[in-house]
Amino acid sequence: MAEDGDVTEMLKDLTLLLLYLSSWEEEPIRGAPTICRAWKNHRFEILDALAEEGLLVTPHRAKWVRLTDEGLAKARALEATLPCRQDASTPAPSSSTASEFPPKRRRVTEPPPTRDCQACA
């Protein structure tokens, strides 16, 4: 079984990776360098631990966090370890693998019904 420290480290890594993957770049002041922000939608204990390590900046009353340069570097390194990112030359899944998942539903907009009766015209 995993130690508590190992689980905490895994949670911090996963949270940092999720913050990075759901982040956006923003130029706060015209001409200033862009910053990477993400919403604070994760456990605050983990966000505070990442901020103590210098990977995030968490403004007190803001609903977002800012990833520091160190945080971005670590998140990019974590992203590179993902199985789907390790080998870009991996072939597309075969039809047998693809059939395991249901097809995505598409939103179909139908044209409005036609008014054929004389009373509606």
pLDDT of residue 33: 83
Residue 26: half-sphere exposure toward Cβ, Cα within 13 Å: 11
**pTM of the shown model:** 0.63
Give 63's contacts (C-beta < 8 A, 6+ positions apart): 39, 40
| 87 — pLDDT class (breaks 50, 70, 90) | low
Is the model's pLDDT at 95 over the cut of 80? no
Strand order in the sheet with 64-67: 24-26, 35-39, 64-67, 56-57
The pLDDT-based confidence of 101 (bands split at 50, 70, 90) is very low
CA-closest candidate to residue 38, choices 13, 66, 76, 75:
66
Q: Is residue 38 packed enough to be buried (19+ CB in 10 Å), middle (13-18) or exposed (0-12)?
A: buried
Domain covering 4-87, topology: Arc Repressor Mutant, subunit A (1.10.10)
